[in-house]
C-alpha cells in the first residue's frame, strides 16, 4: 500500500516552474558615479605597507541628518581603497580609527577632505596619520592576538551607527564648537616646557612666578591609558570610563579661579572637545586649551618638524586601533 501511495504522490508532485530573466541595458541610464580622487589611483592590493590613521568630525547645525544613510555612503566611498577599520557614526558626528593601504593614502585623504562634506573642514585638525607605516608583515601581527594567534589591527571595515561617537553620560549635548582653544602641537610643546621650568623654579624659590599662574595640565584619558604613558607635569583624572570625568573635574577644580589656565589632552583630541565644552559651558572656565589632534598629532608633529626636541610625553600612547600601544619614549611606566 505504501508503495502505491508513494507512486501516486510522485505522479501528482508539482514541478518547480522555470523562470527566465531577460536583462537589457537602458540607453538613458546615467553613467556610474565617478570621482577625481579615483583617477589614476594605484591598485590598493599591490601595496607593500599599511598606514594607521584616525580622525573625528563634529559637523555643525544639527550634525548628521541620517546616520544610517551616511554610514552606507562611507562604506560605498571607501570600498575602492581597501580600507579597514572601526568607524562610529552618530547624529553628533564621526569617530574613526582605520588602516589604509599606503599606496592610496593620498587618494583616501582627498576623498575625505574634499568629497565628503560631513568630514572635510569639520575634521578638526584633519586626519591624524601615523608617521610610520607598517609593512604588510608587521601589519599582520600588529593587533591583539586572537585565540593565541597573531592578528592584524583590523580585519575588515566596520561602520556602525551609535547614539554618540564618544559615550559621555551627559544629560544633554553641549556646543562642541565652543570647547576652548585648540592648541597646535608645537605651541603645546613650548607651553609644557615653560610650565616645567616654572614649576622647578617655584619649587626652588628662584622665581616670582605664582603657583596659580602655572597651568593645570589634565590627562583626560582613563587609568589604563595613563598608567603606560603621560606628559611631564600632567595630572591623570584616574577614571575607569570617560563618563566618570565630570564628577572628577568638579571635585578637582572646585576651588580653582575661573581664569586659571587649564590645558587638557587625550589620545586623538575627541574626548577633549567634550571636556573643553564642559569646562567652558558648564563650569565657566575662561582659559581652557586642548592639544590639537591629541597625543597622536603631537608625536607626528614632533617627528616631522622638531625631531631634535625631546618628547615631553613619556612612555607609550595607548591607541584604539588594535595595536593598543605605540611607544613614544622608552620610559617603562607600567604600574
Q: List, by residue number, the catalytic residues.
A: 266
**Residues paired with 192 in a beta bridge:** none
Per residue in 130-145, is it b (16+ CB within 10 Å) or e — as a string? beebbeeeebeebbee
Per residue in 22-43, is it b (16+ CB within 10 Å) or e — as a string? eeeeeeeeeeeeeeebeeebee
Q: How far is CA 272 from CA 44, 65, 262, 294, 333, in A?
A: 34, 24, 12, 8, 23
Residue carrying C-alpha cell 622608552: 330
Torsion of CA 163, 269, 288, 245, to 10 degrees: 50
Q: How far is CA 173 from CA 36, 68, 84, 310, in A?
A: 37, 20, 30, 38
Which stretch of DSSP H or E encloses residue 274? helix 270-277
57 and 93 in contact (C-beta within 8 Å)?
Answer: yes
Amino acid at each position: 500500500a505504501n508503495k502505491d501511495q508513494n507512486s501516486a504522490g510522485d505522479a501528482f508532485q508539482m514541478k518547480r516552474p522555470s523562470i527566465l530573466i531577460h536583462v537589457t541595458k537602458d540607453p538613458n541610464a546615467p553613467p556610474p558615479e565617478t570621482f577625481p580622487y579615483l583617477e589614476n589611483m594605484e591598485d590598493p592590493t599591490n601595496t607593500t605597507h599599511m598606514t594607521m590613521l584616525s580622525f573625528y568630525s563634529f559637523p555643525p547645525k544639527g550634525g548628521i541628518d541620517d546616520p544610517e544613510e551616511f554610514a552606507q555612503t562611507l562604506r560605498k566611498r571607501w570600498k575602492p581603497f581597501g580600507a579597514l577599520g572601526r568607524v562610529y557614526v552618530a547624529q553628533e558626528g564621526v569617530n574613526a580609527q582605520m588602516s589604509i593601504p599606503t599606496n592610496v593614502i593620498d587618494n583616501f585623504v582627498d576623498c575625505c577632505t574634499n568629497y565628503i562634506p560631513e568630514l572635510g573642514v569639520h575634521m578638526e585638525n584633519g586626519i591624524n596619520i601615523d608617521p610610520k607605516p607598517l609593512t604588510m608583515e608587521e601589519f599582520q601581527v600588529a593587533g591583539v592576538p586572537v585565540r593565541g594567534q597573531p592578528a592584524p589591527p583590523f580585519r575588515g571595515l566596520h561602520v556602525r551607527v551609535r547614539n554618540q561617537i564618544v559615550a559621555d553620560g551627559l544629560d544633554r549635548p553641549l556646543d562642541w564648537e565652543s570647547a576652548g582653544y585648540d592648541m597646535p602641537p608645537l605651541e603645546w610643546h613650548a607651553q609644557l616646557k615653560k610650565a616645567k621650568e616654572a614649576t622647578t623654579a617655584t619649587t626652588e624659590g628662584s622665581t616670582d612666578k605664582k603657583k596659580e599662574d602655572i597651568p593645570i595640565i589634565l590627562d583626560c584619558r582613563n587609568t589604563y591609558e595613563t598608567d603606560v604613558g603621560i606628559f611631564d607635569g600632567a595630572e591623570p583624572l584616574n577614571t575607569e570610563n570617560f563618563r566618570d570625568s565630570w564628577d572628577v573635574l568638579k571635585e578637582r577644580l572646585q576651588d580653582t579661579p575661573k581664569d586659571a589656565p587649564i590645558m587638557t589632552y587625550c589620545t586623538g583630541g575627541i574626548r577633549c572637545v567634550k571636556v573643553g565644552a564642559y569646562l567652558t559651558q558648564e563650569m565657566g572656565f575662561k582659559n581652557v586649551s586642548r592639544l590639537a589632534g591629541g597625543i597622536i598629532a603631537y608625536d607626528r608633529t614632533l617627528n616631522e618638524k622638531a625631531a631634535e626636541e625631546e618628547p615631553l610625553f613619556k612612555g607609550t600612547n595607548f591607541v584604539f586601533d588594535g595595536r593598543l600601544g605605540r611607544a613614544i619614549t622608552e620610559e617603562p611606566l607600567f604600574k
